[in-house]
Amino acid sequence: MQRDTVRQKAFTRRALVFSGGAAALTTVLVGRLYYLQVVSADRYRVLADENRISWRLLPPPRGRILDRFGVELANNQRNYRILLIPEQTPDVEQTLVELKDLVRLDEHDHRRVLRDAGRNASFMPVTVLENLSWEQFARINVHMPDLPGVQPDVGESRFYPYRESLAHLVGYVGPVSPKEQTGEPLLELPGFRTGKSGIEKTREKALRGKAGNSQVEVNAYGRAIRELEREDGNPGHDVRLSIDMELQRFAYERLKEDAGSVVVVDVHTGEVLALVSAPSFDPNAFNLGLDVEQWRVLTQHPRTPLVHRAISGQYAPGSTFKMIIALAALEAGVISADHRVFCGGKIEFGDRFFHCWKKGGHGELSLANAIEQSCDIHFYDVARRVGIDRIGKMASRFGLGVPTGIGLEGEEDGLVPTRAWKRKRHDEPWHQGETLVSGIGQGYLLVTPLQLAMMTAQIANGGFRIKPTLVARDPQTSVRQANAGTPLDGVHQASAGPESIGLSAASLSLIHRAMDMVNNSPYGTAYRSRIAEPAMAIAGKTGTVQVRRITKAERQTRLLKNHERPWKDRDHALFVGYAPVSNPRYAVSVVIEHGGGGASAAAPVARDVLEEVQRRDPGRTPMIGELAVDTEEPSDI
């Protein structure tokens, strides 16, 4: 009995202990549940939503690039593409084989799709092909039942409707490189493209816009189920250029068989109306993706189509520089307007002979006649009298030897030599014979076609300094920049009044008359390239630049004519001019590499371009962007 009592008490104690433990555990569990469901409810609700909801960036539509009249130079068009979702096809390899029967799918694309499918989650779409034609896209849609996992899709792709005629100026877009990654999420989106050259690059910030976002519900595997919310971003701003597209296309078509450039500017505003470089390339090819062979052709082409000759090509100016020589001498007072020199075909200086392009010589010529007939002997004499340093100062007053500030990457400085420059660069003294060579625009002298056009424009407008304008002015942007004291290089700006270069009216009048004679006098070197209609008459100056020195032995034998030499040994052909003579409005520079004579090759192109620009007269109509209001911050250019 006593033993049963002891057992009963022991059981009771154990029951109490177990009951207490259970009660304690229940209390802890209830407390924990209260903490999770009540105290921390908001926190875990957010965490659950974060697992359920995915935020995705939406790339904004890229801004358009327009000409002065609103013609689209770069826009966005539908991008018909094919995506493949690996989990929805039993055999990715077999699906790709079946696709090859419908569209062109090369081995490179085949390997890329297999690689991307293996790297990514099976539910993530893989891009198979982009930029399909509508016929190809429709063909895929018709065969959808036989292509498991294939998903047709429509996006946007950059398109350049004028292709080669604008490639260097407008530029192109391409995939974001590692060096361009700045931490901005938009730049990390697969397939996102940024400007790589031209206006596409210099106006990247304005054209890019701001990204939007999409709130998507996903399941536990991350697969999108439905879109909950969508906020579209801000499209990129349109960029309006001073270019007249029809004039640009005309100039390119006139030049495209050669290697060279054409630049047309308004002599009063500095607006660049045409900026042509040839040969060129199709910028759409870069957006679509170049294969190895296409890249090899572009980079190894003997005429270097990727080089923007209008701003990056550097050439000796040849006889187009003779106006600078004449102005330097006239303004320094070392010669007068009636200065005369006899040309017998060559002169001896030191231990060598300096030759005129006309073997028998021109006889005695005045300064104006020397420009008209491009007499080298006359300008050897004038250059020797004025000296290289004063020549250099006059060239600098016209903006030669420094970038113009047009706002495009890759613009070269050119070169205007002086005594100090040679001492610093070569640690050698300047020789008088080098001054004579500079007198006909050769030797160390280098200019770009854009610099030549600006030089000519400032001669034509009466000696007033202008800067090249490429992008239409936005009034609100201009006010902000003016208030901040920021220069408006490369952007159209309201002038506070013309700034004179500081030349006498008499000197400029002589140069104008001489350039008029070049085209409109029977003795002028460009007489055959005149415009007979008085209201459209042009004035100009030819230039022919030797690309190699002619030896004494070659002079004693028959010299090969330009067309008889190998292309690389032919002279460069140049012409600068303006029109109309009676009231100058447009200036042009034409450079044709290895084109032969300036009179025979470059002058006819310049004549046709000046006739076309006068017919169109784009400078009389303001750029379409001048009345636009932009409330966004200006981008750098």
- What pairs with residue 352 in β-bridges? 349
* Beta-carbon count within 10 A of 539 CB: 29
Rounded to the nearest angstrom, the gap between the alpha carbon of residue 631 and the centroid of all alpha carbons in its chain is 25
Task: Give buried/exposed letters for 373-403 (b at 16+ CB in 10 A, else e).
Answer: bbbbbbbbbbbbbbbbebbbebbebbbbbeb
Q: Do 470 and 489 contact (CB within 8 A), yes or no?
A: no
List CB contacts of 312: < 8 A, sequence separation 6 or more: 410, 411, 412, 448
> What is the DSSP annotation of 449-514?
HHHHHHHHHHHHTTSEE---EEE---HHHHHHHHHHT---TEE----SSPEE----HHHHHHHHHH
Residues with Cβ within 8 Å of residue 506, at least 6 apart in sequence: 330, 337
Taking the C-alpha atoms of residue 353 and residue 348, their distance in angstroms, rounded to an integer, is 4
- Active-site choice (242, 261, 319, 589): 319
Q: What is the SS3 assignment for 173?
A: strand
Cβ atoms of 448 and 311 closer than 8 Å: yes
Report the SS3 class of residue 273.
Answer: strand
Torsion of CA 200, 68, 470, 196, to 10 degrees: 10
Task: Supply the DSSP string of 295-353, one letter for each residue.
Answer: HHHHHH-TT-TTS-HHHH--B--GGGGHHHHHHHHHHHTSS-TT-EEEE-SEEEETTEE
Q: Which amino acid does the sequence have at 39? A: V
Tokens, residue 448: 């770009």
Cis before 279 (ω within 30): yes
Q: How far is CA 286 from the centre of its chain?
A: 14
Q: Which residue has the tokens 């002997």?
A: 377
Q: How many CB atoms lie within 10 A of CB 114?
A: 15
- Using DSSP's 3-state secondary structure scheme, residue 579 falls into strand
Coil/strand/helix, residue 195: strand
> 283 is written with which tokens?
């910028």
Output 191-194 pairs: Cβ under 8 A, ≥24 positions apart: 191/127, 192/59, 193/158, 193/287
Q: How far is residue 399's CA from residue 411's CA, in Å, rounded to a whole number?
A: 14
User: CA–CA separation, 192 vs 512, rounded Å?
Assistant: 53
Active site residue 521: no
Catalytic residues: 319
